[in-house]
């Protein structure tokens, strides 16, 4: 049987898995996180393994690396690696010349500086509050009664940006509801939310230094309105990656698994 290498990123809101062979990607999965991180990992890996010819079960992987919020709850992994290193490895592999990575996750935000070989030089992380994360956008989409794609498109229609100043996710919700009740233009409010998140990200990015090329990973990388606002605030072009930005951490974990297996 061919050698297969797995990466599993157990996040707070989603579970991701990537399976590689010596040639490239042979399986991927993206699911909603379960209450039990181990269950999330097994389900995501099971889906990804099922896409690889001749790979019947997780236990047949040559090497498996776990990462993410629940990485220490994946007892069947050969090794657990921080999501910082995995996002660095994945982004370096999927985006030529990347030097700065912004990872906007479900419950935290990270800014990562890497060198030309993909090694982490420095990182900064905000995990004390859900403001500026995927959780905030989930709440905003509920308030606006629309999907993330619709919310993103709405923000791009703004005539002006209405500042959203609250530094707490709960207070942000209250502030936004108040603005809506005062009949402020929804597009302008949405643009204000994008701007508020981008400014929080800028604070982290400034600590590690913003060097081109810059890319964004995580589910919020699919928020076009946020990407445009980030590019303006960071004064840098946001470079897209060659694969789904939401599974970059799992991709990096699989790459590390393959490299370690060959050492």
pLDDT digits (tens, 9 = 90+) for 106-154: 778 899 999 999 999 999 988 656 566 778 898 999 999 999 999 999 9
User: What is the structure's pLDDT at 12?
Assistant: 83
The pLDDT-based confidence of 246 (bands split at 50, 70, 90) is very high
pLDDT at 34: 92
Select from 19, 26, 23, 27 the least CA-distant residue to 62.
19
- What contacts 98, CB < 8 A, 6 or more positions away? 91, 92, 114, 213, 214, 215, 239
> What's the burial of 147, exposed, middle or buried (CB within 10 Å: 0-12/13-18/19+)?
exposed
Ordered domains of the chain (ranges, CATH): 5-85+246-262 (3.30.420.40), 97-240 (3.30.420.40)
Look at the chain and count its residues.
263
Instruction: Using the structure block, give the residue that is written with the tokens 């700065």.
Output: 100
Q: Over the stretch 152-197, which tens digit does the pLDDT of each residue have? A: 999 999 999 999 987 777 788 899 999 999 999 999 999 999 999 9
pLDDT at 128: 58
Q: Are 241 and 217 in contact (CB under 8 A)?
A: yes
Residue 123 is classified by DSSP as: E
Which DSSP symbol is given to 114?
E
- The 10s digit of each residue's pLDDT in 29-45 is 999 999 999 999 999 99
CB 64 within 8 A of CB 6: yes
Residue 246 belongs to what H/E stretch? none
> What pTM value is reported for the model?
0.91
Across the chain, what does the average pLDDT equal?
92
How far is it, in rounded angstroms, from Cα 134 to Cα 121?
A: 25
What is the 8-class DSSP label of residue 182? T
């Amino acid at each position: 049987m061919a050698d297969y290498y797995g990466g599993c990123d157990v996040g707070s809101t989603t579970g991701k898995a990537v399976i590689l062979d010596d040639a490239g990607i042979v399986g991927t999965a993206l699911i909603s996180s379960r209450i039990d991180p181990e269950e999330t990992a097994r389900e995501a890996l099971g889906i990804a393994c099922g896409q690889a010819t001749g790979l019947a079960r997780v236990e047949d992987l040559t090497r498996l690396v776990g990462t993410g919020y629940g990485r220490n709850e994946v007892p069947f992994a050969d090794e657990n690696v921080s999501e910082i290193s995995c996002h660095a490895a994945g982004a370096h592999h999927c985006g030529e010349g990347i030097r700065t990575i912004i990872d906007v996750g479900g419950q935290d935000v990270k800014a990562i500086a890497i060198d030309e070989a993909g090694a982490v030089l420095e990182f900064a992380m905000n995990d004390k509050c859900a403001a500026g994360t995927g959780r905030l956008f989930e709440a905003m989409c509920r308030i606006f009664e629309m999907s993330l794609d619709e919310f993103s498109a709405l923000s791009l229609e703004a005539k002006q940006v209405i500042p959203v100043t609250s530094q707490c996710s709960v207070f942000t919700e209250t502030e936004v509801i108040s603005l809506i009740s005062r009949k402020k233009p929804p597009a302008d409010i949405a643009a204000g939310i994008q701007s508020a998140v981008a400014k929080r990200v800028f604070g982290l990015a400034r600590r590690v230094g913003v060097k081109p090329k810059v890319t964004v990973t995580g589910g919020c990388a699919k928020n076009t309105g946020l990407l445009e606002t980030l590019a303006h605030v960071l004064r840098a072009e946001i470079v897209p990656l060659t694969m789904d930005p939401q599974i970059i951490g799992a991709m990096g974990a699989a790459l590390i698994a393959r490299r370690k297996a060959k050492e």
